[in-house]
Amino acid sequence: MNAAKQARVSKQHAKPSRATALDLRALVDASDDAIIGKTMDGTIISWNKGAEKIYGYKADEVLGQSISLLIPPGHPNELPKIMRRLQRDEHIKSFETTRMRKDGHLIDVSVTISPMKRGGMVVGASVVARDITAQRQAQEALRLSEERFRIALTKAPVVVVSQDLQLRYTWINSSAMVVTREKYIGRTDAEIFPGEDGARLTAIKEEVLRTGIESHTEVTLTWEGKLRYFDLVVAPARAGGKLLGVLCSAVETTSLKEVIARLQQALDEVQVLRGLLPICSSCKRIKDEHETWQVLEAYLQDHTEAKFTHGICPDCMRKLYPEYHSR
C-alpha cells in the first residue's frame, strides 16, 4: 500500500474517533451529575456543567485547583484514603459522603470514582457525583415521621391495623390489648370473629372499599368472653391514587361506658331512708350505722340530699315567747 492510500485510510479511521470524542463531550456536558477529572495529586483538570450546578463553581474557578476545596473541614482523611485506593487501581462505587459548595453550604453526594490509566499506569481519576441532599432529607423526614408514629402507637390506647382489598390483615399494632399477630395476619374478620361480630365488621369495611368514604362508628365485639365496646375508624388506604385496602384504628371504650353507666345509675337513684332507725325518745338523737348517736339534722344531711335552715314554728313561738306572740 502506497503512502497516499495509507493516509486516506488513516484519515477515514480518524473521523469516527473525533466524532466519538465530540459525542462523549456532549454527553458529559449534558449530564446533571458532576463529572470531574483529576490527576493523582488531586488537581482538577476537567469540570462539566453538572459540576457547576451542584457545587456552584464555574470551570475557570476550579481548573488547576485541588479537589480538596470541595471537602469539608470535618473530613481531613477522606482524600488521602481515596487516593491510596486509586493507586491500587480500585474502583469506588456509590460512596456517600458530604461535600461543600462554593457558598459554604454542605450537601450530601453519592460519588463513584474510577481510575484513569495511561500505558498501564494510573494517572488520574474520573469522579461522578450525584446530589442526594433532597433524597437524604426525605429519608430523614420519613424516619422521624415513622419514629413519631411508633412512639404515638406505643403510648396510645389504640389498635391500628391495615387490610388488603380482600380484607385480609396485613399489619397490626396494639399496645392497648394483648394481640397475637399470627392470629390475624393473612386472615379476615369473618375468620377471626365468627358470627355477627365478624359479619358486622366486614360489612362496615366493604362499604368503605365500595364508596371510598371514611367510616366512624361504635362497634361491639365479644373479646375473651366479655362484651367490649370500640370506637372504630375505617379509612380507604391509597398509594398514588390506587386503592390498596383499608386502614383502621379502634379505641376501646368499655371502661368509659361502664363509668358512664355507674354515674347515670347514681344520678337516677334517689337517696331515701329505709328500715327502722333507733331514735332517742328524750333528745331525739339517731344511732347511725357506726353505732354513733347523731343529732337528727346531722344524720339527715349525711344520708339524704336535704339541707336545713333554722326557724321557729307558731306553737313554739307561743310557748317560748308569749310576749312576742301576743303582739
Tell me what pLDDT residue 166 has: 95
pLDDT of residue 6: 47
The 10s digit of each residue's pLDDT in 146-195 is 676 666 656 566 788 899 999 999 988 776 555 566 778 899 999 988 88
In this predicted structure, what is the pLDDT of residue 270? 46
327 vs 319: CA distance, rounded Å: 14
Instruction: Write down the pLDDT at residue 7.
Output: 45
- Cβ contact 252:157 at 8 Å: yes
Return the pLDDT at 149: 65
Q: What is the pLDDT of residue 43?
A: 94
Residue 11 phi/psi, 5-degree rounding, is: -65, -40
Ordered per-residue pLDDT tens for the chain, 327 residues = 454 444 444 444 444 455 554 556 666 667 889 999 999 999 999 999 999 999 999 999 999 999 999 999 888 888 888 888 988 989 999 889 999 999 999 999 999 999 998 888 999 999 999 999 988 888 888 787 767 666 665 656 678 889 999 999 998 877 655 556 677 889 999 998 888 999 999 999 999 999 999 999 999 888 777 888 999 999 999 988 899 999 998 888 888 888 888 877 766 654 555 667 788 877 778 887 788 888 877 777 777 766 767 677 777 777 777 776 555
Place of cell 475557570: 60
Give the residues across from 293 on adjacent strands. Answer: 287
Confidence (pLDDT) at 175: 60
Helices (H), the chain: 3-30, 49-55, 59-62, 78-87, 133-155, 181-184, 189-192, 196-211, 254-268, 296-303, 314-320, 322-325
Sort strands 34-39 and 92-100 into parallel, antiparallel or unpaired. unpaired
Computed on alpha carbons and rounded to an integer, the radius of gyration of the chain in Å comes to 43
Q: Please report the pLDDT score of residue 178 as a whole number.
A: 53
pTM over the 0.85 mark: no
Handedness of CA 67, 70, 73, 77 (dihedral sign): negative
Report all structural domains of the chain as residue ranges with CATH numbers, in order of start: 11-136 (3.30.450.20), 156-258 (3.30.450.20), 272-325 (no CATH)
Transcribe 80-138 into DSSP letters.
HHHHHHHHTT--EEEEEEEEE-TTS-EEEEEEEEEEEEETTEEEEEEEEEEE-HHHHHH
Length of the chain: 327
| Residue-wise pLDDT tens digits, 35-64 | 999 999 999 999 999 999 999 999 999 999
d(C-alpha 131, C-alpha 96), whole Å: 10
